[in-house]
């Protein structure tokens, strides 16, 4: 019998339950996979807590990597034994075996392990759409990225530097400054010690910047707007400090003709060609050493509660995994 984590109600880490689950055979255009590694992401805590409400009971997790065990009718591009990775609904990657649609899976190229693939699909595809789709950066451009030492931040800073950007990163403690610098930040600001908006304006000689990438949310919004030059873009893609309050357009957007967007990975990978474009570029960057991945920590699937406690306490710095129990 397969094992999986489910929730029957929203709440803290205590609502995570390890249960037996019957997987069955895949239907048309679906595949049955054996997960080798499962990606752990902050968005999982939003699903668990109810910030992003789910229809319950429900599985958890969007990201994983493993081996195809069985293919259903009409599956054209995958076969038993293929190594694949995915980072998309339906939720349920917190499991040792599961069935997923063929369309959300991509083949893992030679030279990249299941663990690396599982640790970077959500974060790496997020960085891809941030840099190439939501706001297409240019070489020589200065950008601001919040939480630069986190899992997404470490990939973002390396990727942005490979494109010729100058990266200003923020962190929440001095202990994270070196991590951000090692991953490509030209300037690092501890936003709990300094007013990062004033520092950014100092760095840019009061010109401001064209884009802010903000996965922190409530605590950084107003000062992020202050950093932007006229017609700049505020890219809000996360809520680690809490959801944004309703935005006063007259106060924050109109004075500088700013753009505000709230992108989500699902909308940037809905089409198979976009998913393959992003994952191919991501795997290429890793294979050629432009992005280096160091997995921060691994947890057993049965220790999901502990993993979520550590996520909430900001103890996880960098990519982390759940590993199905042997």
pLDDT tens digits, one per residue of 197-208: 999 999 999 999
Q: 257 and 175, same structural domain?
A: yes
Rounded to the nearest 10°, the torsion over CA 108, 95, 240, 178 is: -50
CATH classification at residue 191: 3.40.50.720
Tell which residue, 132, 157, 114, has the closest CA to residue 292: 157
- What total number of domains does the chain contain? 2
Indicate if the pLDDT at residue 141 is higher than 60: yes
**What pLDDT sits at residue 207?**
95
Single residue among 214, 242, 262 that ends a domain in this structure: 262
Q: What is the CATH number of the domain that holds 94?
A: 3.90.180.10
Q: What is the pLDDT of residue 325?
A: 78
- Residue 180, pLDDT > 70, answer yes
Q: What is the pTM of this model?
A: 0.89
List, in order, residues 6 or more apart from 12 with CB less than 8 Å away: 48, 49, 308
Range of the structural domain that residue 53 is part of: 2-119+293-323
Q: Does 282 map to a domain?
A: no
Q: What is the mean pLDDT of residues 219-233?
A: 93
**Mean pLDDT, all residues of the chain:** 93
Structure letter (DSSP) for residue 83: E
Q: Which residue in the block uniquely carries the two structure tokens 């160091």?
A: 294
pLDDT digits 0-9 by tens, 31-45: 999 999 999 988 899
Q: Are 114 and 34 in a shared domain?
A: yes
Residue 125 included in any domain? no
- Residues 216, 312, single domain; the answer is no
Q: Per the domain annotation, does 288 fall within a domain?
A: no
Question: Band of the pLDDT at 7, cuts 50, 70, 90?
Answer: very high
Report CA dihedral (310, 266, 58, 299) to the nearest 10 degrees.
-30
pLDDT, position 219: 77
- Do 144 and 84 lie in one domain? The reply is no
Residues 146 and 258 in one domain: yes
Domain membership of residue 177 (yes or no) is yes
Residues 36 and 64 in one domain: yes
> Do 170 and 245 fall within a single domain?
yes
Label residue 247 by pLDDT band (50, 70, 90).
confident
Q: What angle do CA 124, 93, 106 make, to 5 degrees?
A: 50
Q: What is the CA radius of gyration of the chain?
A: 20
Residues 31 and 104 occupy one common structural domain: yes
Tell me if 273 is assigned to some domain: no
Residue 314 banded pLDDT, cuts 50, 70, 90:
confident
Q: Residues 149, 114: one domain?
A: no
Q: Single out the residue of 76, 81, 94, 77 nearest to residue 32, CA to CA.
A: 81
Q: Assess whether 68 and 164 both reside in one domain.
A: no
Residue 292 is predicted with a pLDDT of 92
CA dist., res. 285 & res. 290, Å (int) = 5
**Contact (CB, 8 A) for 232 and 209:** yes
Same domain, 222 and 148: yes
Please check whether residue 61 lies inside any domain of the structure: yes
Cα separation of 181 and 168, whole Å?
10
| Percentage of residues in the chain having pLDDT higher than 70 | 98
């Amino acid at each position: 019998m397969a094992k999986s984590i489910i929730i029957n109600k929203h709440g803290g880490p205590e609502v995570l339950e390890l249960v037996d689950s019957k997987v069955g055979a895949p239907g048309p255009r679906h595949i049955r996979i054996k997960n080798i590694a499962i990606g752990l992401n902050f968005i999982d805590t939003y699903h668990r807590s109810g910030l992003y409400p789910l229809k319950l009971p429900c599985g958890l997790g969007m990201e994983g990597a493993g081996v195809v065990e069985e293919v259903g009718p009409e599956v054209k591009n995958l076969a038993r034994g293929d190594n694949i990775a995915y980072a998309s609904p339906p939720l349920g990657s917190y499991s040792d075996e599961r069935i997923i649609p063929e369309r959300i899976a991509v083949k893992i190229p030679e030279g990249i392990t299941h663990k690396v693939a599982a640790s970077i699909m959500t974060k790496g595809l997020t960085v891809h759409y941030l840099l190439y789709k939501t706001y297409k950066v240019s070489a020589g451009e200065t950008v601001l990225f919040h939480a630069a030492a986190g899992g997404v931040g470490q990939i973002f800073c390396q990727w942005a530097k490979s494109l010729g950007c100058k990266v200003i990163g923020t962190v929440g403690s001095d202990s994270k400054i070196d991590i951000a610098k090692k991953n490509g930040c030209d300037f690092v600001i501890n936003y709990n010690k300094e007013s990062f908006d004033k520092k950014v304006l100092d760095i840019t000689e009061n010109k401001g910047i064209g884009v802010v990438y903000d996965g922190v949310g409530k605590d950084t919004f107003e000062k992020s707007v202050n950093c932007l030059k006229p017609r700049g873009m505020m890219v809000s893609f996360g809520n680690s400090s809490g959801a944004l309050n309703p935005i006063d357009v007259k106060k924050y957007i109109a004075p500088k003709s700013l753009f505000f967007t709230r992108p989500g990975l699902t909308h940037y990978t809905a089409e198979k060609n976009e998913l393959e474009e992003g994952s191919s570029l991501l795997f290429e960057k890793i294979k050629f050493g432009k992005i280096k991945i160091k997995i921060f920590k691994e947890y057993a699937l049965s220790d999901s509660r502990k993993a979520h406690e550590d996520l909430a306490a900001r103890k996880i710095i960098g990519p982390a995994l759940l590993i199905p129990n042997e």
